[in-house]
A and B are shown apart, each in its own frame.
Chain A
Amino acid sequence: MKILILGAGQVGGTLAESLAQEAFDITLVDTDGERLHELAMRLDIQTVEGSASHPDVLRKAGADDADMLIAVTSSDEINMVACQVCYSLFRTPMKIARIRAAAYMEKEEFFHKNHMPIDRLINPEAVVTSQIHELLSHPGALDVADFADGRVQLVAMKAVHNGPLVGHALSFLREDMPSVDTRVAAIFRRGQSILPRGETVIEAEDEVFFIAAREHINRVMQELRKAEQAYKRITIAGGGNIGARLASEIENQYAVKVIELDPARAKTLADRLHNTVVIQGAATDRELLLEENIEQCDAFCALTNDDEVNVMASLMAKRLGCRQVITLITKPAYVDLVQGGEIDIAISPQQATTSSVLSHVRKGDVARVHSLRRGAAEAMEAIAHGDSSSSNVVGRKIQELKLPDGVTIGAIVRGEDVLIAHDDVIVETDDHVILFMVDKGKVAAVERLFQVSLNFV
């Protein structure tokens, strides 16, 4: 598959990197020649320097036979024009664009092919915001992903000594809460994955991934660590796009404070937010944090656009007694350095973007993809098609499926129903199957499994 990526910024660069690793043909377009050169040295991609929306530049980049366009330049308008140009001049079948301004989203029909021909919109800031929002509503979770419109959730969390399940085999789950159905999809112990079986014993510090219906998630979480108090006081450091968005989403649920350095921006925020206390000052200022009673704070979200500031502010907040810190980190190299130490959760915006693009580049019918563990693992919502003769999955019991090693099926969503994937569940056509892969290398095998064979027409 030939993919054209416009814009070699943070998002474009990471996308190019992760897609190139999956053996797609990537062409990257940007006006910054140096940045392109730097990426081309590192990755197996083609680069074109020039204005991303100009037809001649796009033609040079191979728009004529590209299968997909991903427009992620910093300008909404360039992204839109590029999609329009590719639609009108090159008939590119799939066009994905990043649109950040909420003003364009007013009417859904606007992005129809008769008006502004964009097939999929991505908005990384919105994705990151909703991810943080989910984490805040599930105290103790390291990662939360929605599947099937939020009916099923995948949650990652660290097991703690006081959890009832810790020290017991997984089969104990059944006995302890017979009314709740869940499936443990993976367990990582000291960075190594172990295949969860009924007799596997959970240890403290294990990173456990489980899948359950949305309403059961909190109950399952209590098995792994004693019931966490719901968050009340939230402090957000950095009132940029993500910080402001998050604050306005949660300000009526929690007591929210936003710390913003720039006085003018702080004023704008205070005008826009109605239930939030806006503090003007540096998030790394110890006196300021103390003055604002950081020790009483339940969750501290460091969301400035500066990784170093985020890390330092988070460390300080944690040291001063804040219960949980969530830190936004854009440099992938930093994520592994900090997560799991004093910083509880590191969020990478690239991972969120990659996730939202990945579902469109996957072969077969994939509704959603969620990258986990810094892109090493992946959860996927695939849709089964065909019948027992044309498909390798439909009409078969889960235990009969020839799943590659390290791949587990967590749940099946059939219409409105959520079925937790026990061995004897039979897959039907149009089922949404939620799979978990501890290793992304297995993606191709899974795709093959879900493809309908050729005699099905």
Chain B
Amino acid sequence: MHFSVIFRVTGTLLTFFSATFVPPMLVALYFQEQTLHTFSIALAVTLGVGLALWLPLRGDRELRGGDGFLITALFYLGLGVFGAIPFLLAPNLDLQLVDAVFESMSGLTTTGATVLVNLDDMPKSLLFYRQQLQWFGGMGIIVLAVAIFPMLGIGGMQLYRTESPGPVKDNKLTPRITETAKALWYIYVSLTVACALAYWAAGMSLFDAVSHSFATVAIGGFSTHDASIGYFNSALIESVASIFMVLSGINFGLHFLVWRRKNPLLYFADYEVRTYLLVLLFVSVTVITLLFNAPMDVESPLRKGIFQTISYATTTGFVTADVSGWPSSAAMLLLLAAFAGGCAGSTAGGIKLVRVLMIYLQGMREVRRLIHPNGVFPIKLGKTPVSDRLIESVWSFFSVYVLLFFLSVVLIMLVSELDFLTAFSSVGATLNNLGPGLGEVALNYAGLDASVKWVLMFNMMLGRLEIFTLLVLLTPAYWRR
């Protein structure tokens, strides 16, 4: 294993990551906040470490296929740790190390689970920094890095392979990875700008509009208010959020195709997107029905039902209502929808719909095989046949996902006194990069034990790195290769 390469690349990325402390500094400057000092230290430390790792090892060997796994994982680890510096140093915040890293990791993995309370009274610059963490995490900092810093001189494809989510990975948009990353980045930025403008027009302040657009397009779920989107209590803002959450949950490759061909009908030609919209529709209708028939009184069930469904099913995690106060069937359905997640190639978390779809199609194939024992039934996504190798890897993914989920639940219940619902939902909310859970973690994770937080952080990384990227690193075979 060539640690020099890994150090070099990590160094390079830390160096560039240090630049992301500049926008919050500007915000601090504008609002005249003390945090200016905090961010300056964070910048200096990150830049220093980055350069120290990078400069001595410049011009070393190229990256190889297998290195991508390690770099991707190191990336989230490294940035998670260095991204925690402002939370640790911010005046009057008094956070433990575990809480600071948790917040930073939750941001970078676009989970949106928070340990901070009294957001409304916090310095604007720190709030902005949280949102920005999600935004950078959203598309994967590596894709960004590949688009902006081709000077890294990396072959690139292997990184893209390990970074971009979803099972259909070899479906390249443009022949060169740098071009692809740029194209995706443009779409990501345009979507963010459109979202921010829409929020602004819908009545948010400019600061809130920009901040929330970051969290929306990244499918993160951080807010600048404790009450999340519910703070605004505006149907218009909720609609804007819903529309952009749905859009961000669609494969960005498809956005690129639609944009290139100038044909919005392509969305509906995509099998996964059709399923995605159907799932959203089905879950919304069911949740609304459950709410209307709930024994307790639920405030505006139609509006809240739709918003919460979209927020949970896309794994964003914005809230307008306390879901744990809803009938448990509705809450559980929402959590299940988060397991299915959004489309592959989007910023959404979860198992990804295309995988769920393939598992469903395989079930249907079994039924048809029983009817026609000699029949030949390939699995097709729309009209495209899918190779058995792909189905196999989807199954492996699914089984490992479920296995790790239950292992984590058991582990949390072992190390803490948490009840099953809290343990179950907190793992579900972090593994699926959703954010808010049920029970004690319905709004906030501050009250949990440190050990539980570490387990949840590991789950966030597992979810964001599509499990196998991280699992590979834990096998001795990888290090012996």
Binding site for B on A (CB under 8 A): 260, 263, 266-267, 269-271, 274, 277-281, 288, 291-292
Is A267's CB under 8 angstroms from B373's CB?
A: no
Give CA–CA (A269, B376) in the complex, Å. 9
What are 17 A-to-B residue pairs whose CB atoms are below 8 Å?
A260-B376, A266-B376, A267-B376, A269-B376, A270-B376, A270-B378, A270-B385, A271-B385, A277-B372, A278-B376, A278-B377, A279-B374, A288-B374, A291-B372, A291-B373, A292-B372, A292-B374
The verdict on B261 contacting chain A, using a C-beta distance below 8 Å, is: no
CB distance from B246 to the nearest CB of A (A): 28
Give CA–CA (A277, B375) in the complex, Å. 7
Chain B residues within 8 Å of A277, by CB: 368, 372, 375
Is B383's CB under 8 angstroms from A280's CB?
A: no
Give CA–CA (A279, B376) in the complex, Å. 6
Is A279's CB under 8 angstroms from B375's CB?
A: yes
Which residue from B368, B374, B380 sits with its C-beta under 8 Å from A280?
A: B374
The residue of chain B having its C-beta at the shortest distance from the C-beta of A260 within the complex is: B376
Chain B residues within 8 Å of A281, by CB: 374
Is B378's CB under 8 angstroms from A271's CB?
A: yes
Give CA–CA (A266, B374) in the complex, Å. 11
Is A279's CB under 8 angstroms from B378's CB?
A: no
Knowing A277-B372, A292-B372, say if A270 contacts B377 (CB, 8 Å): yes
Instruction: State the main secondary structure of chain B at its contact with A.
Output: loop
A-B pairs, top 7 by smallest CB distance, nearest first, are A271-B385, A270-B376, A278-B376, A266-B376, A281-B374, A270-B378, A279-B374
Give CA–CA (A270, B378) in the complex, Å. 6
Chain B residues within 8 Å of A292, by CB: 372, 374
Chain B residues within 8 Å of A278, by CB: 375-377
Chain B residues within 8 Å of A274, by CB: 380, 383
Chain B residues within 8 Å of A270, by CB: 376-378, 385
Chain A residues within 8 Å of B377, by CB: 270, 278
Give CA–CA (A279, B380) in the complex, Å. 17
Give CA–CA (A302, B194) in the complex, Å. 60
Give CA–CA (A281, B375) in the complex, Å. 9
CB distance from B432 to the nearest CB of A (A): 33
Is A267's CB under 8 angstroms from B374's CB?
A: no
Max chain A C-beta neighbours (<10 A), residue from B368, B374, B380, B383 = B374
Contact bitstring B85-104, A, C-beta under 8 A = 1, else 0: 00000000000000000000
Give CA–CA (A288, B375) in the complex, Å. 11
Chain A residues within 8 Å of B368, by CB: 277
The residue of chain B having its C-beta at the shortest distance from the C-beta of A287 within the complex is: B374
Chain B residues within 8 Å of A288, by CB: 374
Contact bitstring B292-307, A, C-beta under 8 A = 1, else 0: 0000000000000000
Is B383's CB under 8 angstroms from A291's CB?
A: no
Give CA–CA (A274, B380) in the complex, Å. 9
Apart from A278-B375, A288-B374, 14 more pairs, CB < 8 Å: A260-B376, A267-B376, A267-B378, A269-B376, A270-B376, A270-B377, A270-B378, A271-B380, A271-B385, A277-B375, A278-B376, A280-B374, A280-B375, A291-B373
Chain A residues within 8 Å of B372, by CB: 277, 279, 291-292
Give CA–CA (A266, B385) in the complex, Å. 13
CB distance from B229 to the nearest CB of A (A): 42
Max chain A C-beta neighbours (<10 A), residue from B372, B376, B383 = B376
Give CA–CA (A279, B375) in the complex, Å. 4
Give CA–CA (A288, B372) in the complex, Å. 10
Give CA–CA (A274, B377) in the complex, Å. 10
Chain A residues within 8 Å of B380, by CB: 271, 274
Give CA–CA (A292, B373) in the complex, Å. 9
CB distance from A239 to the nearest CB of B (A): 10
Give CA–CA (A76, B372) in the complex, Å. 38
The residue of chain B having its C-beta at the shortest distance from the C-beta of A292 within the complex is: B372
Give CA–CA (A411, B342) in the complex, Å. 62
CB distance from B383 to the nearest CB of A (A): 6
Q: Which of B233-260 contact A (CB under 8 A)?
A: none
The residue of chain B having its C-beta at the shortest distance from the C-beta of A285 within the complex is: B374
Chain A residues within 8 Å of B375, by CB: 277-280
Is A280's CB under 8 angstroms from B373's CB?
A: no
Is B378's CB under 8 angstroms from A291's CB?
A: no
Give CA–CA (A441, B378) in the complex, Å. 53
Give CA–CA (A266, B373) in the complex, Å. 14
Contact bitstring B110-128, A, C-beta under 8 A = 1, else 0: 0000000000000000000
Max chain B C-beta neighbours (<10 A), residue from A260, A263, A271, A274 = A271
Chain A residues within 8 Å of B376, by CB: 260, 263, 266-267, 269-270, 278-280
Chain B residues within 8 Å of A271, by CB: 378, 380, 385
Give CA–CA (A166, B373) in the complex, Å. 46
CB distance from A309 to the nearest CB of B (A): 17
Contact bitstring B17-51, A, C-beta under 8 A = 1, else 0: 00000000000000000000000000000000000
Q: Which of B401-436 contact A (CB under 8 A)?
A: none
Give CA–CA (A279, B368) in the complex, Å. 11
The residue of chain B having its C-beta at the shortest distance from the C-beta of A266 within the complex is: B376
Chain B residues within 8 Å of A260, by CB: 376
CB distance from B23 to the nearest CB of A (A): 50
Give CA–CA (A277, B377) in the complex, Å. 8
Chain A residues within 8 Å of B385, by CB: 270-271
CB distance from A277 to the nearest CB of B (A): 6
The residue of chain A having its C-beta at the shortest distance from the C-beta of B385 within the complex is: A271
The residue of chain A having its C-beta at the shortest distance from the C-beta of B383 within the complex is: A274
Give CA–CA (A281, B376) in the complex, Å. 10
Give CA–CA (A260, B374) in the complex, Å. 10
Chain B residues within 8 Å of A280, by CB: 374-376
Give CA–CA (A380, B415) in the complex, Å. 90
The residue of chain A having its C-beta at the shortest distance from the C-beta of B384 within the complex is: A271
CB distance from A282 to the nearest CB of B (A): 10
The residue of chain B having its C-beta at the shortest distance from the C-beta of A281 within the complex is: B374
Chain B residues within 8 Å of A279, by CB: 372, 374-376
Give CA–CA (A288, B374) in the complex, Å. 8
CB distance from B170 to the nearest CB of A (A): 18
Chain B residues within 8 Å of A269, by CB: 376
Give CA–CA (A274, B379) in the complex, Å. 10
The residue of chain A having its C-beta at the shortest distance from the C-beta of B371 within the complex is: A277
Give CA–CA (A432, B385) in the complex, Å. 48
CB distance from A42 to the nearest CB of B (A): 43
CB distance from B435 to the nearest CB of A (A): 39
CB distance from B375 to the nearest CB of A (A): 5
CB distance from A401 to the nearest CB of B (A): 54
Give CA–CA (A267, B378) in the complex, Å. 7
CB distance from A167 to the nearest CB of B (A): 45
Chain A residues within 8 Å of B378, by CB: 267, 270-271
Give CA–CA (A260, B383) in the complex, Å. 21
Q: Which of B353-397 contact A (CB under 8 A)?
A: 368, 372-378, 380, 383, 385
Give CA–CA (A277, B374) in the complex, Å. 10
Chain B residues within 8 Å of A291, by CB: 372-374
CB distance from A265 to the nearest CB of B (A): 10
CB distance from B209 to the nearest CB of A (A): 46
